Structure 1
Amino acid sequence: MKILIVEDTRSNLLVLTQYVERLGATAVKAETGAQAIEIFQSEHPDIVLLDVVLPDTDGFAVAQRLRGLERAENWTPIIFLSSLGKDEDIERGIASGGDDYLHKPISEVVLGAKIRAMQRIIQMRTSLVVLARKLDTANQELKRLSASDGLTGIANRRLFDEYISREWRRARRTSNSIALLMCDVDHFKLFNDTYGHQAGDDCLRQVAGVIQRTMERASDVAARYGGEEFAAILPETAIGGALFVGEKIRHALHALNIPHAGSPHGRVTLSIGIAAQVPDTEGLHDDLIKAADRALYRAKHEGRDRVVRADAMLADHE
């Protein structure tokens, strides 16, 4: 343990140093407020013993300065040393950032008791800080898990609903287009029937990975919409940009070449419906979802393994 002693009287400084060292601590000494501030910054003491009366300033001002130098997660106990014994002096010391107040002459027994008490507080505070960090980490992980699909690891339906609602409102404020891709794995029931549910789960994970890797901007979100259906939200994107992303996803899945004996294409493919819209005051984000769903239905109806745009009246805001 390192203790900073700020005392301008040499004899007092010597005595306090002896007290501190007999407690098994290391004494770091300063005789002025300026020295105390400089040493505090370089040595990072565990406790400060601070004289109220100093040649260049008073201990109250030094305490305020030391508190200003502390980082948010740190705390250094400050014990004032003074021959001033009025209640007002004690009140001022605590108000300026002090934690305790000892009257001169200092008793070695009392000083030792105060330091041990401060040590216990430091240990308890450190334990609480560590616990708080663990709780924060756990909460962040819980938040991540609550927003992630358990099978594929990408965003789940809950996050999809929250994100599209938020981005729709933002697009309305900024008069920007927002695009949506609805993707469905073609003939997935036949895939499960042919290869089994474990292979089906692995297939969905690979498809999710393809869609996720295609999202190039931090604002783009890929989500599992339900079953073998996926969605991608593309803020600030017109229909042309959405078409480009959809084709990129489709070709990336082709490149994986996942065998599918139950499909006329001989491999796993995606049907993708896309829609884009600049929200107006009357429209709802449900309209965008319905438009992308209609386009997806058309992609299925027209032979699958393709990207289909929603009707031009809704989508063309390029």
Structure 2
Amino acid sequence: MSSQFKVHIVEDDKTTRRLLENVTSMLGYDIKSYENGQQAWDAFQVERPHIVISDWMLPEMDGLELCRKLRESMKDSYTYFVLISAQKRSRPNLEAAINAGVDDFLKKPIGSDEIWNRLRVAERILNFNQQVKRLESLIPICCYCKKVRNDGDLWEQIEQYVNERTGADFTHSICPSCMDTHVRPQMESYKQSLKDKARATAE
């Protein structure tokens, strides 16, 4: 496992928090711990951890509310959220957690193997998410005609491609480099052809 992932632990029980800290630090993660949901939420807005391991029942803000706020605030990045609970995993509890945006669960009492397994899954999902984002950011463009391949595997002008996705319209102009390289030589050639025609007519 890699230290490139930041893990925030949110647990008010000192014994459980210490266990989580010990296991995650031994696995090489960059970790920080908080005793209540409000502290964790304040820290999240600044640091944006990759993984949050949070108890359900917390002072000031419980784990579900923390997860909801986290999901509402996420834009460009994704945080994997693991919820800890001592409660029986009933259907209503599961539905409430899933609706809040929880990714995975840990049940008290927690064992080190369970923590390790959840973190492995979290890393796999986060790595996959990053790969998808990189692929989505690549736009296939023809190196000859500069047409772009769209989602339907059809080739279209780049202006149309951008307009369909952003609503932006293009105004065409000519940059100084192309003016010197292409336009002015064409204009000079055209002027010369007119002179040649005029000279030929006069003769």
TM normalised by structure 2 equals 0.72
**One-letter amino acid of the structure 1 residue matched with residue 43 of structure 2:** I
**One-letter amino acid of the structure 2 residue matched with residue 262 of structure 1:** D
* Per-residue deviation, 1:30: 1.1
Match of 2:99 among 75, 88, 95: 95
Q: Which residue does the alignment assign to 2:175?
A: none
Cα distance in structure 1, aligned partners of 2:87 and 2:33: 22
Q: Give matches, 1:166-245, under 5 Å.
A: 205-206=182-183
CA shift digits 1:55-86 (9 cap, x unpaired): 11221111000111111x32111000010123
Match of 2:67 among 56, 63, 66: 63
Match of 1:83 among 80, 83, 86: 86
Residue 264 of structure 1 pairs with residue 172 of structure 2: no
Residues 128 and 50 (structure 1), Cα distance of their counterparts in 2 relative to 1, 3 Å cut: same
**One-letter amino acid of the structure 2 residue matched with residue 138 of structure 1:** P
Cα distance in structure 2, aligned partners of 1:52 and 1:41: 20
Cα distance in structure 1, aligned partners of 2:122 and 2:84: 15
- Tell me whether 80-89 or 97-106 shows the greater mean CA deviation: 80-89
* Per-residue deviation, 1:258: 4.8
**One-letter amino acid of the structure 1 residue matched with residue 140 of structure 2:** A
RMSD (Å), alpha carbons? 3.3
Q: Give matches, 1:40-189, under 5 Å.
A: 40-71=44-75, 73-87=76-90, 88-134=92-138, 137-138=139-140, 142-143=147-148, 146-147=156-157
Equivalent pairs, count: 168
Q: Which runs of 5+ in 2 are unaligned?
A: 150-154, 161-181
Residues 43 and 258 (structure 1), Cα distance of their counterparts in 2 relative to 1, 3 Å cut: same
Runs of 4+ in 1 over 6 A off after TM superposition: none
TM normalised by structure 1 equals 0.47
* Per-residue deviation, 1:129: 0.8
Cα distance in structure 1, aligned partners of 2:118 and 2:82: 8
Residue 29 of structure 1 pairs with residue 6 of structure 2: no
Q: Which residue does the alignment assign to 2:22?
A: 18
Q: Which runs of 5+ in 1 are unaligned?
A: 149-154, 160-204, 211-252, 267-318
Q: Sequence identity, in percent?
A: 25
CA contact 1:90–1:101 (8 Å) conserved in 2? no
Cα distance in structure 1, aligned partners of 2:69 and 2:147: 39
CA contact 2:7–2:50 (8 Å) conserved in 1? yes
